[in-house]
Structure 1
Amino acid sequence: MTVLHSAPATAMDKVISIVFASLIAASPFAALAETFERVELDKDRTSVQYAGPIKSITKALEGYNWLGQSADMGGGVFFKPYVNPKFGKNDTETGGAIMVTATFYLYDKPVKEALMIARQSQISGFVEFYGYESRELQLHIRMVDDDTFQAFSSDDQYRNPVNLMTYKKVEKFNKSNYKDQLESAHESGGFF
């Protein structure tokens, strides 16, 4: 019986093994490794003060369907430009506001349309969009690439990267499977 002995591992083989093992161990946590910073800004800041980055993001968002990528998100948002007739008039509440209209979808059905004001977010690197009629409606957005943006739903969520949502550009939103199930239950007499 012949016993084969493997050649002793070289120093280079050991280094490669350690690096490879480190990459495998770190990969699931890579998304959670990013940290975000909060900057203190004037609470009455306007869009005009940060018009460059804001216009860059609004132009990238407008006219596209953006689908949420987490398993529990069944919809997305569509942004369209809003021409602010009071823009540049400093004596009005919205005189310094760059605005968009956001239509929120649950699957392929619109559920809410909101006029939103854009301004610099207190989360570094993000632009804040908040509802004109309801400041609680917020999205703090940064573009990842032409087809992807990431967002927090409030400026205090930056501490926990798990709260970071990802949206991808899509041709159309998905249809809900639940409607078909409800219709078939109704047709079969499952509902009275």
Structure 2
Amino acid sequence: MNKSIGLCFAVVLIASSVLSNAQAYERVELNHDRTSIEYSGPINSVAKVIEGYRWLGQTKEMNGGVVFEAYDNKYFGRADTSLGNAILVKATFYTYDQVSKEAIMIARQSEITGFVELYGMESPELQMHIQTVGENEFQAFSSKYDSDKPQKLMTYKKVQQFGKSPHGERLKSAKEDGTWF
């Protein structure tokens, strides 16, 4: 009797963990021309958490992270430009402790429910769909199409500094390190 109760309990635990891992995020269709101002409430609440901190990516493939800063939109409020209603963010991406890319990104409501989308002003294919999880963590998808693949969800944690590369400084040429003669 105790074995069958234990077996039932184990089956329930396994089923609930499988269901939670298979969670797909709901997507909604939004106007492609939506602006930041229309969704400034959710955008500002995410910005309060993520701006000015170092965020380390927490997957095996990531060896760095990102820092977000507010970016002054000199066109803000102007109706004659597409940036007139845009909230801009500067994202600096790191590989270990070295800057690998900087991008000015436009913030708007994501088509993934509960997320805010940041996309590159000059390269719209650069995207992050962000959801904060408390003050020290956020989760992100790199595309709205990844929301039905929970394994594509990336987790970032707040850190004081990014780690140094285990490979050290760039290797010197053979002539520079004295092995070439």
More helix by share: 1
CA offset at residue 181 of structure 1?
9.0
CA offset at residue 32 of structure 1?
2.2
Q: Counterpart of 2:149?
A: 160
Distance 2:23 2:166 in 1: 35
Q: Counterpart of 1:22?
A: 12
Q: Counterpart of 1:127?
A: 116
**Off by >6 Å, runs of 4+ in structure 1:** none
Distance 2:163 2:61 in 1: 13
CA offset at residue 20 of structure 1?
4.2
Q: Which runs of 5+ in 2 are unaligned?
A: none
CA offset at residue 95 of structure 1?
0.6
Is 1:147 matched up with 2:136?
Answer: yes
Is 1:41 matched up with 2:45?
Answer: no
Distance 1:156 1:175 in 2: 33
Distance 1:127 1:83 in 2: 19
Partner-residue secondary structure (3-state), 2:84:
coil
Q: Counterpart of 1:6?
A: none
Partner-residue secondary structure (3-state), 1:145:
coil
Partner-residue secondary structure (3-state), 2:39:
helix
Identity, % of aligned pairs? 51
Q: Which runs of 5+ in 1 are unaligned?
A: 1-8
With normalisation by structure 1, the TM-score equals: 0.83
With normalisation by structure 2, the TM-score equals: 0.88
Distance 1:133 1:18 in 2: 55
CA RMSD of aligned residues (A): 2.5
CA offset at residue 149 of structure 1?
0.6
Is 1:85 matched up with 2:86?
Answer: no
CA offset at residue 158 of structure 1?
1.1
Q: Counterpart of 1:3?
A: none
Partner-residue secondary structure (3-state), 1:80:
strand
Partner-residue secondary structure (3-state), 2:21:
helix
Is 1:108 matched up with 2:97?
Answer: yes
Give the number of equivalent residue pairs: 179
Q: Which amino acid is 1:53 matched to?
A: P
